[in-house]
Chain A
Amino acid sequence: MTESLPIVEMSDISISFPGVKALDGVNFRLFPGEVHTLMGENGAGKSTLIKALTGVYRIDAGEIFVSGAPTRLNGTSDAQDAGISTVYQEVNLCSNLTIGENVMLGHEVRGRLGINWRATHRAASEVLEKLGLGRLNPRAPLSSLSLALQQLVAISRSMVSRSKVLILDEPTSSLDANEVEQLFTVIRRLRDQDVAILFVSHFLDQVYAISDRLTVLRNGRFEGEYLTPELDRSSLISKMIGKDLVVLESLDSEKAVRDHRHTDAPIYRATGISRRGAIEQLDLDLHRGEIVGFAGLLGSGRTELARLIYGADRIETGSVELRGKRVDINSPASALSQRIAFSSENRRDEGIIRDLSVRENLILGVQAKRGWARPIPRKEKDALVSRYLVDLNVRPADPDRAIKNLSGGNQQKVLLGRWLATKPEILILDEPTRGIDVGAKAEIQERVIALADEGVSIVFISSELEEVVRLSDRIVVLKDHRKIAEVANGPSVTADSIITTIAEEGMTDTSAADDDVKEIAS
């Protein structure tokens, strides 16, 4: 980890998309022989920065230097020529080919009579050997390997072209603990061969286990570059989340004062529910008129848990009781008929249907509940649409406009309207305020409180801990797909105390994991 010259230096990078400044004056450096982790909440600009570096996006302002020379990356091939390789989250290999063919794809050894397969496989073996994967048979089909090993093969492949920079975008998201260690062993080997590695992960433990240097982004802005040992977890988290500087009028510093005492039996009770790779066994109660916050970093399992409640993913173990009766919620349609609604965090891909109008998007939930054969009468439809457009203050209040032409905040309001129109008794809101302007945010928060006062049971999920603490009556803290705590909100509960809970819970875990890693590495 010598302070040599950076192999890649990006300075003052800005990228705008229509209406959004995705990156605003971001600096980023990669040093040979170092693992550099890019940190930031979802939407902070991590993937935009990576795409700028791999030539997928063009930068609007700023400069990129590779090995000290200013470089323009006008396409992925430019990036590859500059020695920058990427291994994506979803492995993009050909599973019908052999391991060796995958490693050498495009670099096959040629003889006089076309490809010399024997030499090609030998070369593949050498590359695999270098990464400590010598035990893999290059002639075996790729599909015989686990996903983790496939990922390692993908890394080997990028090494064939003698890359100087390797980008690993969330490589660990679908791996289990052992596989992660395997991956880390390979990463360390590469680092020792002077490759500069850009690593992205949402798992803090992993970040601390592998990285030498951290760069934190927030809302498209550069927060700072730090050496890993010099930045402890709590300050890292607070740098990622940031202090919400904007004072929201009615909901500013104080918690929403709500007198909520549930004496009745829970409307929803889950016992020991789990799903492999999504959430480990946990219990959960929801009461009428109560706001339950799910707190945790991205990837902690908050969305997964929400999807489980809604039936978007199947529950594998455990049971669910609704209004005291055992139910089987195995699809969104069945959840909806049980008056559970779920607004996804992925507004663009799982929320709005872009090409449909505002009106159609709004009534879709109610219509789906009724079935296609029972159309909502014209008059009722118009009343419903105009009521929610006015009620939620959607601008412009034009029901015939395609929803894709609305701003994010207004799209979110239309979606909220879609769910409210189904008259839910349990409403799950996953990141309802992400990426929307302050005014719309305050409106949505007010609406959430009003709904709870009307007796709706609400699950509120947000990356902004302040927001969760402000609104929730009870907070379920999640980490690494587990429920680590459940706290009743009170004066002693703050965003900081939640962060401490998350960070401290990790500490004991990490040291153990670190030991494991060391054992394997040695």
Chain B
Amino acid sequence: MSDTTPSIGRWFAELARRQYFWGIVAIVVLLLINVLKDPTYLAISVSPTTGNLVGNLIDILRAAAPIMLIAVGMCLVVATGGIDLSVGSVMVVSGAVSMEFLHSASGSVGDAFLAFGLAVLISAVLGTVNGVLVAVVGLQPFISTLFIMLAGRGLAKVITGGQNTAATNDSFRWLANGYVFGIPVVFVLALLVVIAVGVLVRRSALGLMIEAIGMDPKAARLAGVNRRGLLFTVYIFSAVLAGIAGVFATASVMTVDVSRTGYQLELDAILAVVIGGTSLAGGKFNITGAVVGALLIATLDKTVVFLGVSSSATPAFKAIVIVVLCLLQSERVRQVFRQRRASRPRTPQKEVIPA
């Protein structure tokens, strides 16, 4: 015991130093609020009929899956100093393509794979358009991706002929609603993809290069870093991840809702990235943080529903939580608290660890 306590303390101090620490705190606080309302909120039980885990936490994980994917893609784009507003629309296009394909196809496993592949392909194409606009034409990322954001939803309507296309394919449906080892497939898949991206980025030099162009484009260029190629890569990454998220979002109901699917999710992704401690100015990024951010957003969404906040007040509630969180993370606000503490001479001085 005497051995483990200091190392746990150190581990905790290390964690508290992370930007996303406050995100974790917020998740815990939200869950506590829910528990106060219903002491059994956190209970996870095994469904007697299917053997799967059921409970609110499992629902949160399921809901977090698509946000996690787009948040990770957004995280890479933001690190280059850009932004990708098109992810929500890429989701709906990807969903529309897969549904439209499955609508006219048989219900076989092969078709499910084909639908998935098509969705990823069209997403990659949209990501390439973003890449061309940003890296070759040199438009601002905000405008370039805003264009795809607006055009994408229109494209989805064209693909489905304005309908909310529905289809049946059990394999495809399993992607969103199935379970492996009792855990929702979506979450497992999203986690695997995120880990794969994380490993790829940190094991190859992609992470370093992205940070270099995000921190100092001029110096990075003179160091021979190929900014154009990197920008292409991250925008395609972001779009492909959004495409997978789109498949998840539509597969759960096997319907693409051309006006609702992925609607405003780009904003959730940006919030998740910021909560995770990646600066919108570019540079250092934190994929774990983005995942924490995505989990927080999902928790927040579920909490709002659970607490019965009226739907008209939902956005305001969400906004307040996020503003408070950002204030807690802000260096300046902390400075004020620190000065306050310092001005009270009697209180024991505790070193404040800058994030």
Interface on A for B, CB 8 Å cutoff?
310, 312, 331-333, 335-337, 342, 344, 349-356, 360, 364-365, 367-376, 418, 422
Contacts and interface: CB of A to CB of B under 8 A. Distances in A.
B326 interface: no
A344 B222 contact: yes
A335 B205 CA distance: 20
Given A332-B224, A352-B219, A372 B204 contact: yes
Given A333-B226, A336-B224, A371-B226, A360 B208 contact: yes
Contact of B224 (A349, A365, A376): A365
A356 B218 contact: no
Interface of B: 203-206, 208-209, 211-212, 215-216, 218-226, 229-230, 233, 283-284
Contacts of A370: 205
Contact of A353 (B215, B226, B230): B215
Nearest to A364: B223
Classify the secondary structure of B's interface with A: helix
A159 B221 CA distance: 41
A273 B335 CA distance: 54
A418 B204 contact: no
Contacts, number: 84
A356 B226 contact: no
Most chain A CB inside 10 Å of its own CB: which residue of B212, B229, B230: B212
Contact of A349 (B216, B225, B229): B216
Contacts of A312: 221-222
A42 B312 CA distance: 61
Given A332-B223, A372-B230, A418-B223, A353 B203 contact: no
A220 B223 CA distance: 31
Contact of A356 (B205, B212, B221): B212
B278 to A, nearest CB: 13
**Nearest 3 Cβ contacts at the A-B interface:** A336-B224, A368-B224, A372-B205
A355 B215 contact: yes
A344 B222 CA distance: 8
B135 to A, nearest CB: 13
A367 B225 CA distance: 8
Contact of B206 (A364, A368, A372): A372
Contacts of B223: 332, 353, 364-365, 368, 418
Contacts of B221: 312, 331-332
B22 to A, nearest CB: 22
Most-contacted residue by chain B among A337, A350, A365, A368 (CB, 10 A): A368
B225 A364 contact: yes
Contacts of A336: 224
13 contacts: A310-B222, A336-B224, A337-B224, A349-B216, A351-B222, A353-B215, A353-B219, A353-B223, A355-B211, A355-B283, A356-B212, A360-B208, A372-B206
Given A353-B216, A354-B216, A356-B211, A342 B222 contact: yes
Nearest to A337: B224
Contacts of A333: 224-226
Contacts of B222: 310, 312, 332, 342, 344, 350-351
